[in-house]
Structure 1
Amino acid sequence: MMATLKWILLGFLGVVLALVLYLTLIFDLNSFKPEISAQVAKLTGRELTIDGPIGLSVFPTLGVELEKVALSNLPDEALPPLVAFEQASVGVALMPLLKRQLEVKSLVIRDAVLNLVTLEDGRTSLTGLGGEGEQTPAAEQTPTQRKESDWRLGQLEVLNITVNNDNRQTESYQSLALESLTLQSIEPGRAAPLALKLALQDPQLSVATEAEALLTLSRDFSRVQIDGWDQQIELSGAAIGEQPLTLALALDADLDIAQQAFQLPRFQVVLDQFQFEGNGQLDLAGVRPKLTLKGEGNHLDLTPWMPETTDEPEQAPSTPETPPSDGPAQEPDLSALGLFDLDLAVGLTQISAPPYQILNPRIEVQLTEGVLSLNRLAGGMFEGQFNMTAKLDSNPQPARYQFEQRIEQLAIQSLLKTVADTEVMAGTGLFTLKGQGQGLTADSALPALQAQGQLALEDGAVYGVNVAKMVRDGQARLKGDMTSSSEAQKTDFSSFSTQLAIAKGSLTTSQIKLASPLLRLDGNGQVNLLSQALDYDLVVSIVGSLEGQGGKGIDQLKDVPIPLKIAGTPDALSYQLDLDAMMKQQLDQEKDKLEKKLKDKLLEKLGEF
């Protein structure tokens, strides 16, 4: 019995040995190249060429190695291959397969190129990929329970992989080079070292990056854990200016693929002296993906990457500009806001982006069902503190928005200098504005904007005009004195206030009140926000003595209302006193005084009888 069993076992081993010898010494996969190419052409509609040998090993590792393989691009087009690689090999341990264990000894891909082309007619390298053969419906499978197989990957090595994207419709070209991707000794529940190095080449932007981490996979690949991700990124090119960027990124991540939930318990971004730390998560299981991100950072200085400014005037273009389109501007496409939800809360100690400086900025943003809500935007700017809320609803067409902002302790001169490059007014105080509108183009936004607010300043001045001097010179001209004193062109005030209203493309400033120890200004005005033309009707009243300021003989104008007209554009304003009205007001005042004096004397005489 034992002898029989012995001979059976020896016979089985002999058959196995003969099979191995046949596969390794006699059987030649290279003879099947035509059949392999024909099947690939049938399945993909593309031509497969294998110029190198096909290697086969059986024991102890079942492996296949290919060399110089290429898959053609779009048929009948002179294009580089869709895919081409110099070498690819995979080796699987044979004996563990008998125990339902998959042990991949090595998976190697070297010197591969992927060419993605978009032609002028819109066809891409993937157009028609799949062949024209009839699709055989897959047989209906009955779910069965089976034990999960153990697996192990000894080595993954991907070297020199290039992805070229040639878009001939937009005349753009990008190239992504994966120099290396290695993964060593990975198996379920065990962390394995991961390393990669890649580069992106674009006419406007170049990116070079290296990263290392520990990667842990679950047995069924439904969970991925990344620990200690450490990445260095270098950016350069015209898109970011002459100064290159060097970024460092560190993070931990837990990816639950089955539940479509991705946690980012820690991440850190370092840019020069700037550091930002936070956490986040991405949930893909809902109706829309939802991204949550919270973090804090220190001073973000963007000065090195801001465009250089010059005091030289811009030269007129040598060629005429393209005439504007006759039709209205198209509203921006905001459909992307309906594709995902967002919950963002970020704070920094400072942002520097000359000429802007923001201290302790805080921003809280939510995006839900296409409605973008700015719940908070706060910080220090223009020597004051600002706080703003806003909402943008992208669902109607055109989009609707509303906002409310408040700036306390505002230095108005700093704001005007930064925003409008003018110093027409100085003072410190309060600015508020609350409004709503629809449309986001220049043609639609201003006409539809409706807003109300106020501006109240203290201890400031209006530059470019000296109202007191205008009054003195005006009265002097009425007396025949055409000389004019030389004084600073500014009107100081102790307080200034006005109510603001924006409607139909115009800014109305009502209840203007300017007060100083010398004079008062009251009135109203309007500014066309499209043409920048303004028109103000004010009334000047002298309330204090102008002695010591060249004001001898002018105190008689006290309480005489003097009309003042301001018109023009910000760079060409005209100030005109109504001298005729001033003379009439003064004569009427003198007449009233004389009548009162005569009346008093008449009553005095009558009292003697």
Structure 2
Amino acid sequence: MKAFGKILGLVILGLLLIIVALGFALTHLFDPNDYKDEIRQLARDKAHVELTLNGDIGWSLFPWLGLELHEASIATLNNPKVPFADLQMLGLSVRVLPLLRREVQMSDVRVEGLNLTLARDEHGHGNWEDIGKPLPAATPAAPAEGSAGTPAPGEAPAKPAAAERPVKLDIDSLTVNNAKVQYSDAQSGQSFSAESIQLSTGAVHEGVNIPLTMTAFFSAGQPALRARTELKGELRFDRALKRYQFEDMKLSGEASGEPLQGKTMTFAAQGQLLVDMAANVAEWNGLKLSANQLRALGELNVRDLNSTPKLTGGLSIAQLDLRTFLDSVGVAVPPMADAATLGKFELVSRLEGSPTRLALEDLAVKLDDSTFTGRLAVDDFAKQALRVQLKADTFNADRYLPAKSEAATGAKAARQAEVQQNEAGALAGAGTTPLPDAPTKTAWSTDKLLPVDRLRVLDLQADLSFGVLTLEQLPIQNAVLKARGQGGLITLDTLQGGLYNGDFATKGTLDVRPAVPQIGLSTQVNRVPVEHFIKSQTDTPPVKGLLTLSSNLTGSGNSQKALIDTLNGNASFVINNGVLVNANLEQQLCQGIATLNRKALSGEPRGKDTPFQELKGSLVLRNGVASNPDLKVRIPGLTVNGHGDLDLRVLGMDYRVGVIVEGDKRDMPDPACQVNERYVGLEFPLRCRGPLELGAKACRVDKDGLGKLAGKALGNKLQEKLNEKLGDKVSPELKDALKGLFKR
């Protein structure tokens, strides 16, 4: 036995020496560069690719099968002259004996100067789709009888081959230097590239963590964007379980380009990534994101990877100065009425989505002094279908409205000066000065109101509610806003709420499909203090009281001025339990009576308020001018009737008002205006003209009308004398005839 063992050992040693000698001979006597044409043909026949070998091929046989390729490129057989990949050098070594056990044991694998070019043509066909595909045969040959594809009669079909054992990988390390990947799409015009790719790994073994580090420069076109990135982590994979993990992943870098408007964004992301193809799930746990001042935490889960992926997860954004962050990433925030807005922002939400939609469920957002809760979703990315369901505690919308332009500010200042000049004269004269001039300065801005282009593609469903909504300086309690928009037609289903112990509701439409936007509004106001709607430039309202209003209005245009200039419709209003502020109609009446009595007032006129029980009327609006034919005011002891126009374009008024004395029911402080019996029932004329903000302070005695009234009063006096003289001596018919004569 000892001799047999000794002989066997010598035989094995001899075989090994022969193999080593053969390997030495092959590597030194056989030069693969002499067989480049055969290698190219083998690549065409077996791999169905066009292989170009411009450099030398270096190799070794045993115990490592070593290979080095220099200046090589690969193209598809359909387009052999345009390579989709080329490299400067590929070097690897594989142990020979483990290959027989379907085990790949490699030393360091190095790739230098790899260029990979991927392109999709105008028909949507990608050049990578032809890799490994043979050229189509000119005429398909009919299968021969008894060929391998069809078993001969009586021949049993071949048994399927047993499932092959997967190749076991064992690589000491992988290094890629100066690689480049380019992608272009002729259909969309988009292009992407990754340059200066540096990749290095530790030992590559299945089922163990593989340290990985990669750096690259990414760029994109239309719009141009460039980013420097660095990726680190530990990769782990199990092909049998179809499970892939990237643990302790850390991605960082900087980005710049057209979307950032010349700014630079520093970004970072980290977490634990898992893709389980057997379970069709992917996870990103321990997610941490940062972009300049933004910091976020969360987790993402995707299921149904093999069909329609479904996203779930959560996201939390720490408080930040949103205005500063947006500026740092090149987003220009439009000027707002309050430049301090967007100073505080934070968000917490649960995520749900798919490839076509994304929803922020259980959303909680803090914006400045407001807190919002609810749901925000894009139901269809392609249609930009926005769905909003939010509740807020308080929200001051005035702070976020567009800031007025210099032109609008200048126009407002000019009108304020005009109103203040008229108001000063009205108060100084207390009704004895001439009528104020009709205003001429426009009261409205020509600034653009609506982003028409965005609204035309808007697909919106909004349901908002507020504890307190401040709009146009009006604090609306328990406000509700419901709106929807599609195809350029935005419908305001309702905007309603409580206002100073009253309430209001409005609804309407905005049609941006025509070149000029069209607006229609229907409004109902119930017992809201009118002084909060109309304030003079001195913040003293011309009238106070509880307003009830009903209106239906239409307009067109995209500025305040354009809408007012085209305002049409109708309205009716009632103001109860009110006061005409700083406007004493009794004093105006006293001035008229003193004139009729041909007496001078003994005291200086004093301005004071005039209370009234009711002020009502109706309006017909035509192109910004409201006609009011039936103004009525009920004042204790007086009845006031009027008619006139309100020019909303310049916020001016022109009214003729008649004051009827119902009787001497009050103390008159001045003897010159004692009400005689003959003045009872007469209508004393007033003329009101000037800025709307002046209210009744713009009223004066109408001297032309007063002359007619004097004649009527004289007729009443003659009638009294006639009655005294005639007594019962004439018939009633003759008395009536004489009365008619004096009244003419």
How does the TM-score come out when normalised to structure 1?
Answer: 0.71
In structure 2, relative to structure 1, the CA distance for the partners of 1:487 and 1:244 (3 Å cut) is same
Residue 480 of structure 1 deviates from its aligned partner by: 3.1
Residue 266 of structure 1 deviates from its aligned partner by: 2.5
Contact 1:20 1:58 (8 Å CA) reproduced: no
The 1-side partners of 2:376 and 2:191 are apart by 44
Alignment of 1:55-454 (within 5 A): 55=200, 59-60=204-205, 65-67=213-215, 69-70=216-217, 82-85=226-229, 87-88=230-231, 93=236, 96-97=238-239, 99=240, 150-155=242-247, 157-166=249-258, 172-185=261-274, 187=276, 188-189=280-281, 192-200=284-292, 208-220=294-306, 222-235=308-321, 237=323, 241-242=339-340, 245-257=343-355, 260-271=356-367, 274-279=370-375, 281-284=377-380, 288-300=383-395, 334-352=452-470, 355-417=473-535, 421-454=539-572
Is 1:568 matched up with 2:568?
no
Residue 16 of structure 1 deviates from its aligned partner by: 8.5
In structure 2, relative to structure 1, the CA distance for the partners of 1:378 and 1:586 (3 Å cut) is same
Residue 458 of structure 1 deviates from its aligned partner by: 1.4
In structure 2, relative to structure 1, the CA distance for the partners of 1:42 and 1:233 (3 Å cut) is closer
The amino acid across from 2:682 in the alignment is V
1:554 matched residue in structure 2: 675
1:142 matched residue in structure 2: none
Contact 1:280 1:293 (8 Å CA) reproduced: yes
The amino acid across from 1:179 in the alignment is A
In structure 2, relative to structure 1, the CA distance for the partners of 1:195 and 1:599 (3 Å cut) is farther
1:508 matched residue in structure 2: 627
The superposition leaves residues 311-345 of structure 1 with CA deviations (integer Å, 9 ceiling, x where unpaired) of xxx9999xxxxxx9xxx988955232342422211
Residue 512 of structure 1 deviates from its aligned partner by: 0.5
- CA root-mean-square deviation: 4.5
2:650 partner SS: coil
Is 1:602 matched up with 2:733?
no
Contact 2:232 2:250 (8 Å CA) reproduced: no
In structure 2, relative to structure 1, the CA distance for the partners of 1:508 and 1:183 (3 Å cut) is farther
Contact 2:249 2:271 (8 Å CA) reproduced: yes
Is 1:542 matched up with 2:661?
yes
Alignment of 1:451-466 (within 5 A): 451-466=569-584
Residue 403 of structure 1 deviates from its aligned partner by: 0.9
Shifted more, 31-40 versus 154-163: the winner is 31-40
2:533 partner SS: helix
Residue 530 of structure 1 deviates from its aligned partner by: 2.1
In structure 2, relative to structure 1, the CA distance for the partners of 1:564 and 1:340 (3 Å cut) is closer
Residue 562 of structure 1 deviates from its aligned partner by: 1.4
Higher relative contact order (CA 8 A, sep 6+): 2
1:583 partner SS: helix
Shifted more, 358-367 versus 266-275: the winner is 266-275
Is 1:30 matched up with 2:112?
yes
The 1-side partners of 2:274 and 2:179 are apart by 37
Residue 214 of structure 1 deviates from its aligned partner by: 4.8
Contact 1:512 1:524 (8 Å CA) reproduced: yes
The 1-side partners of 2:359 and 2:258 are apart by 35
Contact 2:591 2:701 (8 Å CA) reproduced: no
Contact 2:537 2:693 (8 Å CA) reproduced: no
The count of corresponding residues between Structure 1 and Structure 2 is 514
Unaligned runs of 5+ in 1: 75-79, 102-149, 201-206, 309-313, 318-323
The amino acid across from 1:511 in the alignment is D
The amino acid across from 1:28 in the alignment is R
Choose 1 or 2 for highest CA Rg.
2
The amino acid across from 1:180 in the alignment is A
How does the TM-score come out when normalised to structure 2?
Answer: 0.59
The 2-side partners of 1:391 and 1:268 are apart by 30
2:710 matched residue in structure 1: 583
The superposition leaves residues 146-197 of structure 1 with CA deviations (integer Å, 9 ceiling, x where unpaired) of xxxx3423336344333324579xxx54443323332344544475424223
Contact 2:686 2:699 (8 Å CA) reproduced: no
The 1-side partners of 2:249 and 2:460 are apart by 37
Residue 275 of structure 1 deviates from its aligned partner by: 3.7
In structure 2, relative to structure 1, the CA distance for the partners of 1:289 and 1:271 (3 Å cut) is closer
In structure 2, relative to structure 1, the CA distance for the partners of 1:303 and 1:499 (3 Å cut) is closer
Residue 453 of structure 1 deviates from its aligned partner by: 0.7
2:513 partner SS: coil
Is 1:473 matched up with 2:617?
no
The 2-side partners of 1:538 and 1:81 are apart by 70
1:204 matched residue in structure 2: none
Shifted more, 462-471 versus 410-419: the winner is 410-419
In structure 2, relative to structure 1, the CA distance for the partners of 1:539 and 1:173 (3 Å cut) is farther
The amino acid across from 1:177 in the alignment is T
1:602 partner SS: coil
The 2-side partners of 1:284 and 1:42 are apart by 27
The 2-side partners of 1:471 and 1:218 are apart by 85
In structure 2, relative to structure 1, the CA distance for the partners of 1:49 and 1:16 (3 Å cut) is farther
Contact 2:269 2:289 (8 Å CA) reproduced: yes
2:606 partner SS: coil
1:480 partner SS: coil
In structure 2, relative to structure 1, the CA distance for the partners of 1:33 and 1:446 (3 Å cut) is closer
The 2-side partners of 1:160 and 1:173 are apart by 20
Residue 484 of structure 1 deviates from its aligned partner by: 3.5
% identity of equivalent residues: 12
In structure 2, relative to structure 1, the CA distance for the partners of 1:248 and 1:457 (3 Å cut) is same
In structure 2, relative to structure 1, the CA distance for the partners of 1:14 and 1:426 (3 Å cut) is closer
The 2-side partners of 1:301 and 1:533 are apart by 30
2:329 matched residue in structure 1: none
The 2-side partners of 1:47 and 1:547 are apart by 92
1:519 matched residue in structure 2: 638
Residue 452 of structure 1 deviates from its aligned partner by: 0.7
The 2-side partners of 1:161 and 1:34 are apart by 23
Residue 20 of structure 1 deviates from its aligned partner by: 4.2
2:20 matched residue in structure 1: none
Residue 263 of structure 1 deviates from its aligned partner by: 4.7
Residue 528 of structure 1 deviates from its aligned partner by: 1.9
Contact 2:270 2:286 (8 Å CA) reproduced: yes
2:98 matched residue in structure 1: 13
The superposition leaves residues 427-462 of structure 1 with CA deviations (integer Å, 9 ceiling, x where unpaired) of 113112111232223453223221211110112121
The 2-side partners of 1:45 and 1:542 are apart by 86
Contact 2:617 2:628 (8 Å CA) reproduced: yes
Residue 406 of structure 1 deviates from its aligned partner by: 0.8
The 1-side partners of 2:475 and 2:666 are apart by 43
Residue 551 of structure 1 deviates from its aligned partner by: 6.2
The 1-side partners of 2:668 and 2:608 are apart by 14
1:484 partner SS: coil
